[in-house]
Amino acid sequence: MSYTLPLPCGCTAYVSCSPDTGVAHTRVIECRHAACRVRSHVRGTKVFLWELLPAPRSVVVQVAGVTRTLRLGATP
Ligand SMILES: [Zn+2]
């Protein structure tokens, strides 16, 4: 089984899965988007698992024992 998957940058990844287990064993760039700013996104190059994830919307930080959740891209 194989399928294509849109990436957050606009590129498209080709994902190939094992027919026995269904686990993805190959993920490569199939089509580079014109607006993509990731230099490594060249057709046929490997796509790492974390590149399939959406951009984080917040981050948890801990300073001096105090834990805070900061929203990324938001103005205070
Ligand atoms: Zn890209």
Domain that residue 23 falls in: 2-71
- Give domain status of residue 24, yes or no: yes
CA of 48 to the centre of ligand 1 (A): 12
Q: Report how far ligand 1's centroid is from the alpha carbon of 19 (Å).
A: 27
**Rounded distance from Cα 12 to ligand 1 centre (Å):** 8
22: buried, middle or exposed (CB in 10 Å: 19+, 13-18, 0-12)?
A: exposed
Question: Total structural domains in the chain?
Answer: 1
d(CA 55, CA 28) in angstroms, rounded, equals 19
What distance in angstroms lies between residue 36's CA and the mean position of ligand 1's atoms? 4
Give residue 72's pLDDT: 82
∠ CA 36-40-16, rounded to 5°: 95
Per-residue pLDDT of the chain (76 residues; tens, 9 = 90+): 899 999 988 999 999 999 999 899 999 999 999 999 999 999 999 999 888 887 778 888 888 889 988 888 755 5
- With respect to residue 52, please indicate whether it lies within any of the assigned structural domains: yes
